[in-house]
Structure 1
Amino acid sequence: MTAFGYTLMTEQAGPKDLVRHAVSAEQVGFDFEVCSDHYSPWLATQGHAPNAWPVLGAVAHATSNVDLFSYVTCPTMRYHPAVVAQQAATVQILADGRFTLGLGSGENLNEHVVGQGWPAAGRRLDMLAEAIRLIRELLSGDLVDFHGEYFSVDSARVWDVPDVPVGLAVSMTGDRSLEQLAVLADHLVNTAPDRDVIHGWHSARQGMGLAEGRIIGQLPICWDPDRDTAIARAHDQFRWFAGGWSVNADLPTPAGFAAATEFVRPEDVAAEIPCGPDLDAVVAAVKPYRDAGFTDIALVQIGGDSQDRFLAEAAEPLLNALRSELG
């Protein structure tokens, strides 16, 4: 059955609100929760960017049933892979085995802040592959000496290793990433219902005799009883989405995203994101992900101030509709 998730979007809410939203999302019946890992919001109007890892730890402690994911962490620049391995092991213990480490090659927006520049796409992919190998070694709990092209550790050991191993879900968007990363991952992350990527994942895993794992996707929605209000909020806070990931990965600041999307109109956003009270429109937007083969689909409700009302009024009937039509 398809699992439906809720996004803890650190760009649009502070840490205490995120934990409160996580508890409410579990109570209304979401199957899993994903937490973004950003240093900056996409647009200044979103207004937040707390550290994801204390939030995940607090959410792990405050919830009891939902699966949890980082969605996704870049383990190559802002964090050294050794730090990511320790963080993931700790959250897995706090979550009693419910946590999956989501990994990706990152965005300039978040990673440039450490002053190391922003590598080209091919180099970022090579760095991610090496980081994943190192993280896997460290999650064994063994003493590790590792000297790769990009990362080194000397006599490093993760001392608190969870009883349930940490699964790795890795973002892959094309042939090169599938070729390098499919063998290193347990699960696939993709933000678009791209059948070619899904087919490539299945083929690669089957060819190596590996379990195919889960395929985790995400899409934005903007529920509100008033459609015009929903469209205005989506345009104000989520028009950055119009650039596509090839652009979004390289812009360095919220001001850059504001400039790049200056001429995106509210109607352009509404054409891409279901806005307003119509739950059937959300189901229709989710359907291509299910049909493409996604096993887990997370929703992003746009607007930090809209979460309480969404969770109280819309989430339960929406989940019922999704499970009835697509589950």
Structure 2
Amino acid sequence: MTEIGHKLICEEHGPNDLVEYATLADQSAFEYAMISDHYHPWTSTQGESPFVWNVIGAIAQATDDLRLGTAITCPIIRYHPALIAQAAATAGVQLPGRFFLGVGTGEKLSEHILGDRWPEHEVRLDMLREAVDIIRTLWTGDTTSYHGEYYTVENAQIYTLPDELPPIRVAADGPKAARTAGEIGDGLVGVAPDEELIETFEAGGGEDEPRYAELDICYAEDKQEAIETAYEIWPQAALPGELMWILPTPAHFEQATAAVSKDDIAELVVCGSDPDEHIEAIQEYIDAGFDHVTIHQIGPNQAEFMEFYEDEVLPAID
């Protein structure tokens, strides 16, 4: 059975709006939500980037049943993993049985801000392994000292722990990260309907773990209006190769996306109000092996999007 979730995008919405949208999702047929964790938006047009852990606390007070996870927290450079261990434990208390921690190797856009070196991906994967080990060790509640290759923890103890520890889902966009996700995680988070990614994740040990995907869409009654909105707000969806991971500022993303056309966005983002197009895109992820598909509605049209999905799309998803 596939679950469909709602993506709360901190790069597009302020903290109060995010809480409102989470409340709408809690009252809707969406079964969970995921929330981004950035220091910067991708482009200045998006215009927001609140501190996600404050927002999570507010969502915990505003919702009753909504399951919520981060997508994606990078616990290796901007954050020390010991701080994420405490933050996620607190979120687990505020959202008992409803919170999960999504982690990954991050993007330079948000992780370079303290002046740290931006390592190559293989090094960041090693850092992530160590970070997850620290988080799980601290979640035992014991006094912990840890002297690793990348991180040091001295006499740290987390006192506020939930009865049910949050699962840790690991993001991957290639085979090395997928295998790592299978080895250290309690689930996979992907952004493309890649069957081989899931096979590698399962080969790494993730056979019985959940598999989350993210799908960009832009609902509007008029398809051209939806394309215009997606092009204005989310042009980085069309950037090729590794640019997403290595560009350091929103200004650099704006320079890079100057070459992106509306046709490029229309090919990559499901735009408009034809339910069959939305269902087909979701089914592509299901066919690849994902059992959770998180829908990112680009732009401010959130309530109408949720109503459209409840009426026209979700009933068709098995």
* 2:154 aligned residue: 154
Q: What is the alpha-carbon distance in structure 2 between the residues aligned to residue 252 and residue 122 of structure 1?
A: 19
Does structure 2 retain, via aligned residues, the 8 Å contact 1:139–1:166?
A: no
Q: What is the alpha-carbon distance in structure 2 between the residues aligned to residue 132 and residue 263 of structure 1?
A: 38
Q: What is the alpha-carbon distance in structure 2 between the residues aligned to residue 292 and residue 124 of structure 1?
A: 27
Q: Structure 1 residue 62 and structure 2 residue 62: aligned?
A: yes
Kindly, what percent of the aligned residue pairs are identical? 39
Q: What is the alpha-carbon distance in structure 2 between the residues aligned to residue 77 and residue 38 of structure 1?
A: 12
Q: Structure 1 residue 96 and structure 2 residue 91: aligned?
A: no
Q: What number of residue pairs does the alignment pair up?
A: 318
Q: Which amino acid aligns with 1:155?
A: N
* 1:315 aligned residue: 309
- Per the alignment, in what secondary structure is the counterpart of residue 249 of structure 1? helix
Q: Which amino acid aligns with 1:255?
A: A
Q: Structure 1 residue 273 and structure 2 residue 269: aligned?
A: yes
* 1:19 aligned residue: 19
Q: What is the alpha-carbon distance in structure 1 between the residues aligned to residue 52 and residue 60 of structure 2?
A: 12
Gaps of 5+ in 1: none
Gaps of 5+ in 2: none
> What is the Cα deviation at residue 218 of structure 1?
0.3
Q: What is the alpha-carbon distance in structure 2 between the residues aligned to residue 180 and residue 294 of structure 1?
A: 17
Q: What is the alpha-carbon distance in structure 2 between the residues aligned to residue 121 and residue 308 of structure 1?
A: 38
Q: What is the alpha-carbon distance in structure 1 between the residues aligned to residue 301 and residue 179 of structure 2?
A: 40
The 3 A distance-change label for structure 1 pair 65 and 245 is farther
Q: Which amino acid aligns with 1:310?
A: F
29-38 vs 235-244, greater mean Cα deviation: 235-244
- Per the alignment, in what secondary structure is the counterpart of residue 145 of structure 1? strand
TM-score, reference length from structure 2 = 0.97
> What is the Cα deviation at residue 310 of structure 1?
2.2
Q: Which amino acid aligns with 2:24?
A: S
Does structure 1 retain, via aligned residues, the 8 Å contact 2:179–2:203?
A: no
* 1:296 aligned residue: 292
- Per the alignment, in what secondary structure is the counterpart of residue 113 of structure 2? helix
Does structure 2 retain, via aligned residues, the 8 Å contact 1:186–1:212?
A: no
- Per the alignment, in what secondary structure is the counterpart of residue 125 of structure 1? helix
1:93-134 deviations in whole A, cap 9, x for unaligned?
101111010000000000011111311111111111110111
1:232-286 deviations in whole A, cap 9, x for unaligned?
1100111101114622011111111111111211111011111111121111111
Pairing of 1:37-116 with structure 2 (within 5 A) = 37-116=37-116
Q: What is the alpha-carbon distance in structure 2 between the residues aligned to residue 18 and residue 219 of structure 1?
A: 18
Q: Which amino acid aligns with 1:112?
A: H
44-53 vs 195-204, greater mean Cα deviation: 195-204
* 1:120 aligned residue: 120
Q: Which amino acid aligns with 1:234?
A: A
* 2:133 aligned residue: 133
Q: What is the alpha-carbon distance in structure 2 between the residues aligned to residue 173 and residue 220 of structure 1?
A: 16
Q: Which amino acid aligns with 2:314?
A: L
Q: Which amino acid aligns with 1:274?
A: V
- Per the alignment, in what secondary structure is the counterpart of residue 189 of structure 1? strand
Q: Structure 1 residue 33 and structure 2 residue 33: aligned?
A: yes
* 2:258 aligned residue: 262
